[in-house]
Amino acid sequence: MKRDFIFGGSVGILNDIKIENMLTNLGSLLGHEKELKEVLVKNPSIINYLIIDINTDKEDLIEKLFEGLRLEDGKLCIEPSRLVLAGKQLEKINCESFSEIENLELPYSKIGNIREIKEKFPNLKQIILPELNNKRATQEDIGDNLRNLLEYAEFRNFVQTGDLGDVSAIRKFITKENLDSKFIISSNGKTLINLDRIGEKCFEEQEVISIDLEEFKKLDKNLLRTSANPYSIVINSVKDLSLQEIKWLKESDVNISSIEIFDKYNSKEQSEPYTLDEYIAIREKMEEIVEGIDLNLNEKQRFAEVYKRIGKNIVYDTPAAYPLTEQEKTYSNKESSNCRNLKNGLLLGKCVCAGYADILRNALALVNIESIYMTGGVKEKIIDKDSKEFDKLSKKYSYKQDEDGKITFYDGHAWNKVKLDGQWYNVDATWDASEIRNGKNPKNVFKSDKGIEKDKKFFYLPQKIECLIDLDSKEIDEIFNGKHLWIGNKKIPNFKDILGTVKQIAEEYRDLGSLIYRFGSKAKDKIFPRKKEVKLLSEPKETVNSKETLKSWDLKNWNVDRKSISQKIETKQESIAKPKESNVRDENDRE
C-alpha cells in the first residue's frame, strides 16, 4: 500500500500541501489536535485517510487525542471510514473511543485472538495487514492468523495480504475445511474476499481487488457495479479469456482495472497486471501466432509451428538484458518487467528469455498443449571460495555456494517444459530464435533434464516434473520439416516412407518368391519324382563289340547316296536365305 506520510510534522504544513494519506505519530500529533481539527473541518478533502500510529500504552493520552478531535456535537471531525488506528500497543490498551473505530492496521503477529479484537472494537469493519518490511512471514503466521480472521466472518469485504513472497503458503492454509463458504481467495493470494460484502467501500479506494475469472463470473453483477474498488481479473493463461470476452468486460459497467496472468510457476514479472487495452492488443497478437494451425495435427507438429513463428518474429532485446549506455540502462530499468512478460515480445517484437518463455507457454495453451515456465541459471564459472576473481565476477553475475564450498557464478535464465504426447521435454525458445530466424531447425528442443546439464543449465527449484527423454537431431529435423506425423511416440509414415517400404517389401517378396520357387521345385521333385530314364539300347542285349558298332554307324557302310543328300542340303540352305514373299508387312515398312 502506498502512503505519503509525515512523521512528527507540524500540522501547519497541511495548509499548503495536498496529500493523499496522512500518517502521523501520536506523539507529534498531541498538542496539535485543535489545529488538525480546524484544517479538516475547513478542507475535509485535504487528506483521504488519517492513520494514527499508537506507540504508547498511556491510555489517557489517547483519550486526550480523541477529545481534541471531536466537534461540538461530540462527533469526530473525520469520518470513521477515513480514520485508521495502527500500532503495536493497541492490544494492551483500552479506550472508550475505540467503539467508534472501523479500521485497524495490525501486523500479522498481533492478530492473535480475533474475538478479543472484536470485543475491543465492536464496530470494526476492516483489518489491514501490512507488508512485513523485509521479513518473510512464516507459514505458521499466515495460517493461524488467517484462520482466525475467517472466524470473524462479519468484519469486511476483503483483507489485503500484501506481498508475502510465497503466495502458495497462503493457499495451503486456506483449505476447504477452514474456509467459510462466503470467502474466496484469489489464485495469486492477494485478496481474500467476503462475498457478502463485496460491494462495500474499502479502506483505500485505489486498492485493487484481485479475483479469479471463474469466481468473478459467478458474482452478482449488480453488486459488482456498486463496488467502489476496481477489480483485477486473474487468469492462468490467455486461453482463459478470449478477445470477445475481454471486449465484453470492457464494455460492461463493472470497474475492471486490469488482467493478471498468474501461474504458480511464474516469476513476478509474468504476474504484472495488464490494462484491458494492453490485454486486447496482446490477445490479438496471440491469435496471429496460432492463426491457421490445425488443431487436428499431432501435438509435436502444432508445437513446432508455434515455436517457429515465435523464433522467426521475436528478436532478443540485448539493450534490455545488457545495457551499455545510460539511456539503455534507463530503458532496461523501465522495461524490466515488460521485456520479461507478454508485452514487449508481442507488441514490440523483442524481449529477453523470460519473455520468450512466457509467450511460448501462453501460445501453446491456445493450441491445447500443456507447458510450464521454468527458471534457472546458466553456469558461467566455478571458482574456489578464496579466489581473487570473486570481486570481479560478483559484479557481473549472480552466484551461489555449492555443497563442496566452491562458488558458482551464473546468469539467470528462463525456458519451458512442454508436454507432448505424454512426454515432458525441455525447450529453449531464446536459444533457438537465432537458428530459426536463419531458416535452420532448432537444436535446443526435446531435451531431458540430464540433456540440459550439458548446456550448463540448472534449475532454481527441485523439479517435480521430470524430462527423461532426449530426441536425436534426426527426429527433431523430421518434426520441424513437417515430414512426419506422430501418434504418441510412433511416427505415421508419409508417401516417401510408404514407397520405400513397398520397395523393400517387393525385394523381400522377390527373394521370397525365388525361395518359394526353389523350395517348390524341390518339393515338386519330392511330390512328383521324375521317372528313372531307361537307357534304350538300340541293339539287342548282347555284348556288342564296340569297334564293330562304330563301324556299323559309318555311312560308308550304308550305301548312302551322298550326292543327293548334299544337294538336298544346298537346296534347304538356299530356301532359308531367300524367304518366300509374304503379304504381311514388316515393321520396317511402317510409315
Partner 1 sequence: MIENKYLKKAVEYKVGKFLGESLTSEDLLNVEELSLSNVSFSGEKRNIDLLELKKLPNIRKLDLQYFNIDTETISMINMFRKLDSLQLASCDFSSNEVLRNIALRSLVFNSCRIKDYSKIFAPQILTVINAKNIRLDDLQGIENVEVLNLQNSIVKGMNRTLECKKLRKLNLDGSILDNEEIIASLPKEVEISKKDKYLPVR
Q: Binding residues for partner 1, per CB under 8 A?
A: 277-278, 280-281, 285, 288-289, 291-292, 309-310, 312-313, 315-316, 318-319, 321-322, 324-325, 327-328, 347-350, 352-354, 378, 411-413, 430-431, 434, 437-438, 455
Hey, what's the cell of 576?
Answer: 532359308
Alpha-carbon span 30 to 370, nearest angstrom: 61
**Cβ 318 to partner 1 shortest distance, Å:** 7
Shorter beta-carbon distance to partner 1: residue 316 or 480: 316
Encode 524-551 in three state secondary structure: HHHHCCCCCCCCCCCCCCCCCCHHHHHH
Closest to partner 1 by CB, 19 or 382: 382
Whether 262 contacts 236, CB under 8 Å: yes
Task: Between 87 and 377, name the residue whose CB sits nearer to partner 1.
Answer: 377
Determine the length of the chain: 591
Using alpha carbons, select from 250, 321, 322, 316 the residue that is nearest to residue 283: 250
Comparison of 77 and 241: residue with beta carbon closer to partner 1: 241
**Closer of 129 and 452 to partner 1 (Cβ):** 452
Report which of 342, 366, 354, 178 is spatially closest to residue 272, judged by C-alpha positions.
342
* Rounded distance between C-alpha atoms, residue 417 and residue 372, angstroms: 5
In whole angstroms, the minimum distance from the beta carbon of 171 to partner 1 comes to: 30
Q: How far is the CB of 281 from partner 1 (least distance, A)?
A: 5
The distance of closest approach from Cβ of residue 261 to partner 1 in the complex, given in angstroms and rounded to an integer, is 18
Measured distance CA(210)–CA(205) in Å, rounded: 14
Beta pairing class for 158-160 and 191-194: antiparallel
d(CA 2, CA 389): 41
Q: What minimum distance in Å lies between the beta carbon of 283 and partner 1?
A: 11
Mode of pairing for the β-strands spanning 21-25 and 49-53: parallel
Measured from the CB atom, the residue of 255 and 313 that comes closer to partner 1 is 313
Nearer to partner 1, 147 or 456 (CB): 456
CB of 126 or CB of 258, closer to partner 1: 258
Grid cell for residue 144? 493461524
- Give, rounded to a whole angstrom, the gap between the first and last alpha carbons of the chain: 103
- What CA–CA distance (Å, rounded) separates 119 from 445? 62
Give the separation between CA 358 and CA 342, rounded to whole angstroms. 6
CB of 438 to partner 1, least distance (A): 6
Partners of 158 in beta bridges: 193
Of 193, 233, 231, the residue nearest 209 (C-alpha):
231
- Beta-bridged to residue 371, according to DSSP, are 418
As a dihedral over the C-alpha atoms of residue 200, residue 206, residue 208, residue 209, rounded to 10 degrees, the angle is -10
Nearer to partner 1, 120 or 379 (CB): 379
Give me the residue label for grid cell 478531535. Answer: 69
**Minimum distance from residue 82 beta carbon to partner 1 (Å):** 33
Shorter beta-carbon distance to partner 1: residue 132 or 383? 383
Distance CA 392, CA 390 (A): 6
Pick the closer one to partner 1 by CB: 21 or 426.
426
Rounded to whole angstroms, how far apart are CA atoms 166 and 91? Answer: 28
Contact between 428 and 444 under an 8 Å Cβ cutoff? The reply is: yes
Q: Minimum distance from CB of 496 to partner 1 (Å)?
A: 25
Q: Toward partner 1, which CB reaches closer, 248 or 322?
A: 322
Nearest CA to 106 out of 118, 91, 123 is that of 91
CB of residue 295 to partner 1, shortest distance in Å: 15
Tell me which amino acid residue 456 is.
Answer: K
- The neighbouring-strand residues paired with 183 are 194
Q: How far apart are CA 344 and CA 228, in angstroms?
A: 32
Nearer CB in complex with partner 1: 349/488: 349
**Residue 274 CB, nearest approach to partner 1 (Å):** 11
SS3 198: coil
Least Å from the CB of residue 271 to partner 1: 18
Least Cβ distance, residue 370 to partner 1 (angstroms): 21
Quote the least distance from Cβ 60 to partner 1, whole Å: 55
